[in-house]
Structure 1
Amino acid sequence: MSSMEQQPEPAPELYRPGRWIALSVLVLAVLLVAIDATVLGLATPFLSEDLEPTGTQLLWIGDVYSFVIAGLLVSMGSLGDRIGRKKLLLCGATAFGAVSVLNAYANTPEMMILARALLGVAGATLMPSTLALIRNLFHDARERSLAIGIWGAMASAGAAVGPVVGGFLLEHFWWGSVFLINVPVMAVLVVVGIKMIPESKNPAPGPWDLLSVALSLVGMIGVVYAIKELAAHGGSWEVALSGLGGLALLIWFVRRQFRLPAPLLDMRLFHHRGFSGAVLADLLTILGLSGLVFFLSQFLQLVQGRGPLEAGLAELPAAVGAVTAGLLAGTTARRYSVRVVVTGGLAGIGLSLAAVSAVHKDTAYPLIGALLLVVGVGAGFAFTVTSDVILSSVPKEHAGSASAVSETAYELGAALGIALLGSIVTGVYQGFNAPAGTPPDIAAAAHESLGGAVEAAEALPEPEATTLVSAAQDAFVDGLGAASAIGAVVLMATAVAAWFLLRGQELEEGIVHD
């Protein structure tokens, strides 16, 4: 094999001792961030009852975490390249644990939104650091594919562990307990990571450009906020100014990167067609999926009447499929090609979402479980292979920036998905009319959210309460169906785009020489 004919590096560099132990510590961070994202959906009905947020505030609680992460990932990935990825990871882990306590004890919707935003700042330091460190720990391409598969599998496992652990906690403790689980795990990460994770950074990074940091953060949040508000409430001068202003700042950011001798983000990375195709696939896939994931827990609990733990267990097939596919993705892509595996995974998710659009209140669980399994397998194949393509497309000195681009696509897709698809669910839901004779205050509460309808109905006599809740559930399911149908269209279009953009792209074989 041609790569093996090159002058080999010393064995300790090719196969670093302790690299698998270091990987096990790194994926703890991934596990926690994934748990934190999924457990919130399960806690939403309890949080709604306690904090009484409006429908808009509830969406902000759900997506401000992703908004802030999306705005800061590029800056944090570049910062890790400069000051050291291990140092940034350990600082971020410490902050993540501390801010989790603030989330747990938030007592107003506004405080919860602020706490989630601060958690996003801490989370932005974790994700690019983990992938970049994997890029520098594993120099054998097949080992690195397996390591990325494990990384992706643990993210999926977090999606599974979150609902199950969260369901157990919610049935025995108050909703804030789902955030406190972050504290001991982050403590383990810091203590073990200090000893086991090797430091790595760009040997000649140049200065960290603070103007670029501000441009990327404010520009990204401005654009995402405008899209969210446009989807939820329609156009206005405020929305137009936010969107156009954010877009102008992002254009300024891109132009500035081309001029800087040491840019925050090397825009030349996007000249690689495989890199650009993988990033686009990540963004649009998560956009199509995230709205479904955010509202599925509410469907299982508030529409089908499952308890929190049962709802968490009901979502396990997606994680089982994702974990299995993630571990097999590298081998499968080398056998059948990158574009076959990615396109097939995306098409599978799209077809499943199309089927979800036909789900109704009384749909039996075996069908829901089968659809979730297919979604998990598709996501496991697609995300693992695209992550491998993104990392293998760049020199290891720029691993932090490349990882940040990958994670930015993921988080921006999640934010946009919850904003756009979530707003579709909310918009369709709020179109329902409370039954005649419902007191105005109860009708107004029911109009805000499904959780509000269930809580408000408790003040009504049994027949009227049942009628109100049933009407609200029907409206919620209609909204979920509409969002799933749009998500399916997005996924199928992404599958077609991936087929062309990833043409000729293959995973590396053997040892990686940088």
Structure 2
Amino acid sequence: MTSPPSSNTSADAPERAPFVLTALILGALVCNINLAAANIALPDIGDAFGASQTSLNLVAVGCALGLAMSVMYLGAVADRYGRKQLLVLGLGLTVVASVLAAFSVSVEMLIAARVLTGISAGMAYPTTLSLITALWSPGRRRTVAIALWSAVSATATVIGSVLAGVLLLWFWWGSAFLLAVPIALAGFVLVIIVVPSHVAESDEPVDHVGGVLSVFMIAALVLGLATVFAPETAVFGGVLLGAAVVLIGVFGWRQMTARSPLYDLSVARRRMFWAPATGGLIVFGSLIGAMFVGQQFQQNILGYSTLEASLSIVPAGIGLLAVAPQSAKLVLTRGSRFTMLLGYVFVLAGFVTMLFWGEDTPFWYLSLAYLAIGIGAGFAMTPASRAITESTPVRRVGMASATADLQRDLGGSIMQGVLGAILAAGFARSFGAIIAESGEASSISAEVTAALQSSYASALQVADQNPQYKDQILQAAQQSLEAGSIAAYAVGAIAIALGAAVVWIFLPGHAKEVDLVASYGTAPEPAAARAGQ
């Protein structure tokens, strides 16, 4: 049973539809700018706090972690108690969290503030797609709205990096975390004025036990992946991954037995739900991971300024926006499978290009890789988000939007965590080999060795403390970071290939897709219904 539609809605779209869509896109823009803001500032943050590579990984992944671990629970809360209300609350708290991040006095405080920023986004981000699905009827107008939402959401990661790069030319690293504040305030006001309230919301109780389990489950998974590859945190990461496996099992059991599950597994088992969700998770996560590793490579290996490093990824945003209209058309004419696979081809080409980056790589070659990844993400994300929402009853659209968000948030945090961990492990391993081959390993203390292998920023501090060896340390640090980066790109390329295989094998062709989505519309509502086609 659902609440009656608002009087502000028409047959196909809400009244003042352009303003409503603008307000919702602003909400998504805020969340995604915050996701990207840290990447460009990481070298400066490392210098300011003398942070290890693992700490820098946690700063980068903190916002995505907070969003990913809360989005499923908060999406259900929004479905029951008010999507607009939670969107407004999330935008307001984003301002507070951003200020705390900008003026952090330690790397630990910064990590905590980044997680809080992500939780604030978890209140706002899922409701933006939920409201689009609830306010626009199925068809071309909803598909176009989702395409715009997807393109702008993804492009915000590029916009955030570029604007942060500009700010860091004149201001301290904390200015990067204030980027979202004016946009959040504008979105806060516009949402209050134009977005309808209580449209097709559920009156079923929220599974709070399942919600709490989902929070700890995703947190353990993301943090485990972010720490398990680093030597100093490998045991801690392994324990977290073990806990994540147990929590996933308990969460699944809870959802199968709860009277009103947080995550309806009968819907999640649908081919047009889980297959595009998995494909979208990998492709968007790869975009975030590539930017995370690439920014450090460009600033530390190529010596780019923050502005130069951010400008190199502008082609990714251009590619995303340029193909968004074409993606919407292809989804309607050729289907989700064809459109997603086309996107995967471009993303894989971008990662293969990155494997050939080196200390003499020209600017245009860097931009070419980002352009390919942006085009690929633009093609893949619209069909992924649309297929998920089309496969889900409107009363459970929070589950669909949370899943679509998890493509970005969980995918981004997993790929960023994994690629960041591979980068850190590759850096430490390469530097260790250089020390061993130098013949001076016995004369270097264990403390100095650990500092040299910790991160590029830590190695620079050791170089400053030992000016007589500065050139050798810098050369070794650059060589090690390059080795770690190449390893990360190789892992990313393998993940892309696996994702393409999932889409190819499990997503149906266009005609079968149309039949499946139509059958979902007539399927029984109870979770016990046989919907796993």
> TM-score, with normalisation over the residues of structure 1?
0.92
Determine the C-alpha separation between the residues in 1 that align with 2:243 and 2:45: 34
2:221 equivalent in structure 1: 223
Q: Which runs of 5+ in 1 are unaligned?
A: 1-8
State the Cα deviation string for residues 125-183 of structure 1 (Å, max 9, x = none): 12110111111221151111111111122123312221221111111111111112222
Residues 1:123 and 2:129 are matched in the alignment = no
Determine the C-alpha separation between the residues in 1 that align with 2:340 and 2:237: 35
Determine the C-alpha separation between the residues in 1 that align with 2:308 and 2:110: 26
Kept after mapping to 2: 8 A contact 1:82/1:202? no
Query: What displacement does 1:205 show?
Result: 2.7
Residues 1:484 and 2:489 are matched in the alignment = yes
Residues 1:378 and 2:368 are matched in the alignment = no
1:450 equivalent in structure 2: 456
2:421 equivalent in structure 1: 423
Query: What displacement does 1:304 show?
Result: 0.7
1:347 equivalent in structure 2: 345
1:181 equivalent in structure 2: 179
Query: What displacement does 1:197 show?
Result: 0.6
Q: Which runs of 5+ in 2 are unaligned?
A: 1-6, 523-533
State the Cα deviation string for residues 381-433 of structure 1 (Å, max 9, x = none): 00111111111111222111111012123222222212222111111111213
Partner amino acid, structure 1, of 2:484: G
Determine the C-alpha separation between the residues in 1 that align with 2:75 and 2:360: 46
Determine the C-alpha separation between the residues in 1 that align with 2:79 and 2:207: 13
State the Cα deviation string for residues 317-371 of structure 1 (Å, max 9, x = none): 1111011112321102223332111012112211321221121111112222112
Match of 2:315 among 283, 304, 317: 317
1:337 equivalent in structure 2: 335
Kept after mapping to 1: 8 A contact 2:388/2:400? yes
Determine the C-alpha separation between the residues in 2 that align with 1:37 and 1:379: 16
Kept after mapping to 1: 8 A contact 2:84/2:197? yes
Kept after mapping to 2: 8 A contact 1:136/1:200? no
Query: What displacement does 1:260 show?
Result: 2.3
Determine the C-alpha separation between the residues in 1 that align with 2:483 and 2:235: 31
Residues 1:165 and 2:171 are matched in the alignment = no
Residues 1:474 and 2:479 are matched in the alignment = yes
Residues 1:242 and 2:240 are matched in the alignment = yes
Kept after mapping to 2: 8 A contact 1:205/1:262? no
Kept after mapping to 2: 8 A contact 1:287/1:487? no
Structure 1 residues 444 and 228, CA, compared in 2 at 3 Å: closer, same or farther?
closer
Query: Residues 18-57 of structure 1 correspond to what in structure 2 (within 5 A)?
Result: 18-57=16-55
Residues 1:58 and 2:56 are matched in the alignment = yes
Determine the C-alpha separation between the residues in 2 that align with 1:180 and 1:236: 33
Structure 1 residues 58 and 123, CA, compared in 2 at 3 Å: closer, same or farther?
same
Query: What displacement does 1:201 show?
Result: 4.8
- Structure 2 residue matching 1:294: 3-state secondary structure: helix
- Structure 2 residue matching 1:53: 3-state secondary structure: coil
Q: CA RMSD of the aligned region, Å?
A: 2.6
Kept after mapping to 2: 8 A contact 1:391/1:402? yes
Residues 1:367 and 2:372 are matched in the alignment = no
Determine the C-alpha separation between the residues in 2 that align with 1:508 and 1:173: 52
Partner amino acid, structure 1, of 2:454: E
1:262 equivalent in structure 2: 260
Query: What displacement does 1:310 show?
Result: 1.4
State the Cα deviation string for residues 436-486 of structure 1 (Å, max 9, x = none): 77975766544221223334434454x843332122111111111111111
Structure 1 residues 236 and 378, CA, compared in 2 at 3 Å: closer, same or farther?
closer
Determine the C-alpha separation between the residues in 2 that align with 1:61 and 1:43: 10
Residues 1:499 and 2:512 are matched in the alignment = no
Query: What displacement does 1:236 show?
Result: 6.8
Structure 1 stretch 494-503 or stretch 374-383: which is displaced more? 494-503
State the Cα deviation string for residues 232-280 of structure 1 (Å, max 9, x = none): 2399765554333332222222222222222211111123201111111
Structure 1 residues 64 and 299, CA, compared in 2 at 3 Å: closer, same or farther?
same
1:197 equivalent in structure 2: 195
Structure 1 stretch 108-117 or stretch 65-74: which is displaced more? 65-74
Partner amino acid, structure 2, of 1:196: V
Structure 1 residues 83 and 367, CA, compared in 2 at 3 Å: closer, same or farther?
same
2:82 equivalent in structure 1: 84
Structure 1 stretch 222-231 or stretch 111-120: which is displaced more? 222-231
Determine the C-alpha separation between the residues in 1 that align with 2:61 and 2:54: 11
Query: What displacement does 1:231 show?
Result: 2.3
- Structure 2 residue matching 1:262: 3-state secondary structure: coil
- Structure 2 residue matching 1:172: 3-state secondary structure: coil
Structure 1 stretch 213-222 or stretch 279-288: which is displaced more? 279-288
- Structure 2 residue matching 1:347: 3-state secondary structure: helix
- Structure 2 residue matching 1:199: 3-state secondary structure: coil
- Tell me how many residue pairs correspond in the alignment: 504
Kept after mapping to 2: 8 A contact 1:148/1:384? yes
Determine the C-alpha separation between the residues in 1 that align with 2:331 and 2:103: 45
Partner amino acid, structure 2, of 1:454: L
Structure 1 residues 174 and 241, CA, compared in 2 at 3 Å: closer, same or farther?
closer
Partner amino acid, structure 2, of 1:81: D
Structure 1 residues 380 and 469, CA, compared in 2 at 3 Å: closer, same or farther?
same
Kept after mapping to 2: 8 A contact 1:318/1:372? yes
Determine the C-alpha separation between the residues in 2 that align with 1:262 and 1:10: 29
Match of 2:404 among 403, 406, 420: 406
Structure 1 stretch 232-241 or stretch 10-19: which is displaced more? 232-241
Determine the C-alpha separation between the residues in 2 that align with 1:336 and 1:125: 34
- Structure 2 residue matching 1:176: 3-state secondary structure: helix
Query: What displacement does 1:290 show?
Result: 3.2
Partner amino acid, structure 2, of 1:452: S
Kept after mapping to 2: 8 A contact 1:201/1:397? no
Structure 1 residues 234 and 201, CA, compared in 2 at 3 Å: closer, same or farther?
farther
Determine the C-alpha separation between the residues in 2 that align with 1:444 and 1:238: 18
Kept after mapping to 2: 8 A contact 1:343/1:496? no
Residues 1:304 and 2:309 are matched in the alignment = no
Kept after mapping to 2: 8 A contact 1:141/1:508? no
Structure 1 residues 502 and 513, CA, compared in 2 at 3 Å: closer, same or farther?
closer
Structure 1 residues 211 and 20, CA, compared in 2 at 3 Å: closer, same or farther?
same
Determine the C-alpha separation between the residues in 1 that align with 2:112 and 2:357: 35
